């Protein structure tokens, strides 16, 4: 959910947080350019035949050396998929490795496999021994081929069947027509470069290209498509060179709740200005080259001043950058989006909004309950319990907030919840009205507190003492009766209290 509140004396400045650090990977995924280059394959069985076919398809000059050669290999050599395949019926020698860029051997004989691996490494040639990761410098993963679009999948030899299952899933997701689009991109690239377009204009061209490919994957692009893309960039003119601001809702925490449009915005951003409530997993969707800056606010703690955030957005956009202002939850609900939109408009900076899943929606989904009900709740209302001074707002309508046919969602209630409950009781709310408080909704550390309005403040205080952390959201109303009665259990992996 979006954070709001006063700019406290304990303020902080927006700061660059750098690129996300890559987690450890078992194997480095690389794609060798093998066109016309010599690759040695030692072995004449079925494993060697498959590797020789793959290497030939990549354009390599494959030399197979083996005392005995299977029929498949002979047939393959007679009609290779691309690069030539030569077969030498004899044992391999160390000097066969001279001039090879890669070396591959089947691993049927363990001693022979070890000798081949040692000889290749001594010659400085990267080696793969089939089904023997310890003897290999590189491995062959499962492949999805839409060349020149190629996807490689590796499990580091731990679970080849799992890798194949993932490959099948990706095969189903990637239309075969992507091959034609990838070929067109390879052909058109030099024409895009030759036009002398700016960095932003080139990126805009390829973003439009990608959008068109995704929208029409099952046909081959033609010259009319290329001309239309160039015309669109020329029509945009200065807009292709100017910066912009996009307010993006990051949702309540679970990265899988991001919208597709939000992901696309992150992947095209030059700069991402994000809040404290945005999880690292969501930032991972942004371009690795994008500059990331923390401009967050923490309730009653160090916060960036809103004026500084506004000025930073405009300054970056005026430098020609695409700025994503990434906000937790839904930016248009208690996210101070109005102030940022107004500041951009006053400065003449283009601004748009991409909505996110709100915290109440996230809470309802995790509690598996509806916030409205034909018999119990014909109105849904959102309210903040946090004014500019950090206290309960003075102009709250407690009559409306005590309405028995409404479901009420209270943002940022932690510090002011006792006062809120006291005022609701004075306004005549039913003390037994079902109430739920959710900490860190949709995140792994989520904690749910179920109870009644009359005792909710005490229930929440006990939960905090027991370790509940993160942003808190309160929901109450008779539509939540099943949750309050414990008919529905908390989501898997989430703790329950109260």
CB 277 within 8 A of CB 296: yes
212 is catalytic: no
**Is 201 in a helix, a strand, or coil?**
helix
**Residue bearing tokens 């990267």:** 126
φ and ψ at residue 200, rounded to 5 degrees: -70, -40
CB contact set of 369 (below 8 Å; sequence gap of 6+): 479, 480, 482, 483, 488
CB 273 within 8 A of CB 15: no
CB-based burial label for 187 (10 Å; 0-12, 13-18, 19+): exposed
Q: How far is Cα 40 from Cα 97, in angstroms, rounded to an integer?
A: 7
297 is catalytic: yes
**Inter-CA distances, 131 with 30, 64, 400, Å:** 19, 18, 69
CB 164 within 8 A of CB 142: yes
Catalytic residue among 51, 96, 292, 297: 297
Instruction: Look up residue 294 and give its two tokens.
Output: 């923390």
Catalytic residue among 225, 254, 270, 275: 275
Instruction: Look up residue 370 and give its two tokens.
Output: 């509806």
Instruction: Look up residue 76 and give its two tokens.
Output: 């393959």
CB contact set of 182 (below 8 Å; sequence gap of 6+): 146, 147, 148, 149
CB 220 within 8 A of CB 318: no
Instruction: Look up residue 244 and give its two tokens.
Output: 């912009």
Dihedral angle of Cα 488, 411, 477, 447, to the nearest 10 degrees: 20
Q: Which residues are designated catalytic? A: 275, 297
């Amino acid at each position: 959910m979006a954070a709001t509140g006063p700019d406290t004396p304990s303020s902080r400045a927006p700061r660059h947080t750098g690129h996300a650090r890559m987690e450890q990977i078992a194997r480095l995924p690389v794609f060798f350019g093998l066109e016309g280059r010599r690759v040695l394959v030692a072995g004449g069985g079925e494993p060697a035949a498959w590797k020789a076919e793959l290497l030939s398809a990549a354009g390599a000059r494959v030399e197979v050396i083996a005392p005995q050669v299977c029929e498949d290999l002979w047939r393959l050599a007679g009609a290779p998929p691309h690069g030539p395949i030569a077969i030498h019926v004899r044992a391999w020698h160390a000097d066969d490795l001279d001039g090879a860029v890669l070396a591959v051997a089947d691993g049927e004989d363990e001693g022979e496999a070890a000798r081949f691996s040692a000889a290749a490494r001594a010659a400085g040639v990267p080696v793969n021994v089939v089904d023997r990761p310890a003897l290999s410098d590189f491995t062959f993963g499962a492949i999805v081929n839409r060349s020149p679009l190629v996807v490689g999948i590796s499990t580091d030899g731990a679970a080849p069947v799992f890798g194949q299952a993932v490959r099948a899933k990706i095969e189903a997701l990637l239309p075969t027509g992507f091959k034609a689009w990838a070929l067109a991109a390879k052909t058109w690239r030099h024409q895009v470069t030759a036009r002398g377009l700016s960095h932003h204009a080139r990126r805009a061209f390829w973003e439009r290209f990608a959008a068109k490919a995704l929208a029409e994957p099952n046909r081959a692009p033609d010259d009319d498509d290329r001309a239309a893309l160039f015309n669109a960039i020329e029509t945009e003119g200065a807009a292709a060179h100017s910066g912009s601001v996009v307010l993006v809702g990051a949702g309540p925490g679970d990265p899988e709740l991001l919208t597709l449009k939000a992901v696309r915005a992150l992947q095209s951003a030059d700069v991402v200005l994000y809040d404290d409530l945005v999880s690292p997993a969501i930032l991972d969707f942004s371009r690795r080259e994008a500059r990331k800056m923390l401009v967050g606010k923490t309730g009653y703690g160090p916060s960036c001043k809103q004026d500084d955030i506004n000025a930073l957005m405009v300054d970056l956009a005026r430098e020609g950058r695409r700025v994503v202002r990434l906000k937790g939850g839904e930016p248009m609900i208690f996210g101070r989006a109005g102030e940022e939109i107004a500041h951009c408009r006053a400065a003449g900076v283009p601004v748009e909004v991409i909505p996110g899943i709100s915290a109440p929606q996230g809470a309802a989904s995790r509690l598996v309950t509806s916030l409205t009900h034909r018999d119990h709740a014909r109105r849904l209302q959102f309210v903040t319990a946090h004014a500019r001074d950090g206290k309960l707002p003075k102009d709250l309508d407690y009559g409306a907030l005590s309405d028995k046919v409404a479901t009420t969602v209270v943002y940022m209630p932690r510090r002011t919840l006792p006062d809120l409950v006291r005022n609701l009781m004075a306004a005549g709310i039913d003390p037994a009205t079902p109430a739920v408080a959710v900490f860190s909704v949709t995140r792994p550390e989520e904690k749910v507190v179920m109870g009644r309005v009359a005792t909710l403040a005490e229930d929440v205080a006990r939960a905090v003492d027991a370790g509940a952390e993160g942003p808190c959201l309160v929901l109450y109303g008779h539509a939540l009766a099943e949750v309050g009665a414990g008919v529905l259990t908390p989501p898997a992996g989430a703790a329950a209290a109260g």
